[in-house]
Amino acid sequence: MPESAELLTQPSEARDFVEWRRGRTRYAVWALDVDVPEVCQRVAAACAPVAEQLLPGYCRQPHLTVHLCGFPKAQADFADDYGVDRLAAEVAALRRVRPAAFAIEIGAPASFASAAYLAVRDPAGGIAGLRRSLGSAAGEPGFSYTPHVTIGLYRGAFPLAATVDRLAQGKIDIPCTLTVGRLALMTYAAAVIGGPLATVAEFDFASGELLVRDARQMREFFGEHWPARLAAGKCADE
């Protein structure tokens, strides 16, 4: 790219990417649930100066993605399927480490080419530790990771530098600190860009148990006998 060329935001398309999902309906991630008033207020304040540049309809709750999983199903057929054996391996890896609760800092707005976000600091290295644990079960080749809370996706190609300047106009106070003690297994409708997240299970750091939030969905994703496939420890319903 010539040095004189201005960097632009990358627009998202509000459509069903059927060639990506190939008939599959839900996509899963491991994430930290940060859907609390302090973070929601920061998201709203950061969104206001750039609202007309963002793709309409983004309604995903504030969260911090830790690890990409894939399309959940009992048996993996494609490389991006998330089979029950991989779920079992990741839960076993978390149990071996038994992470302690840790603090994160939600800070100022910033931007990728494709999305505006709130920056996140990981002073205790808790997020990095979780990613190392999950990466020992399944890696994310070629994926560049920056912890963040997404504000919204861009609807067009706008000058990036000017957009970052506008984001800085949001009334954001000093960083807020949150303590996290669970890692959520969340899914979203693959056909909907920016649609809401649903938590189907959570790994509790203190107990080392996988707490089921939606038993019906877990059975639909991984089969009736999925708990028996978790090789280490037990699965607890709450």
Quickly tell me which residue has 């994926």 as its tokens: 143
Regions in the chain scoring below 70 on pLDDT: 1-4, 136-143, 231-238
Phi, psi of 20 (to 5 degrees): -85, -45
DSSP secondary structure letter of residue 3:
T
Q: What is the pLDDT of residue 235?
A: 53
pLDDT for residue 63: 98
Inter-residue contact 106 to 64 (CB < 8 Å)? no
- Element housing 68 (H / E): strand 63-72
pLDDT of residue 57: 92
Q: Write down the residue that tokens 């054996």 correspond to.
A: 85
DSSP labels, 145-177 = ---EEEEEEBSS--BHHHHHHHHTTS---SPEE
* Domain annotation for the chain: domains and CATH numbers: 18-237 (3.90.1140.10)
Length of the chain, in residues: 238
* Whether pTM exceeds 0.85: yes
Q: Which pair of tokens denotes residue 64?
A: 């911090």
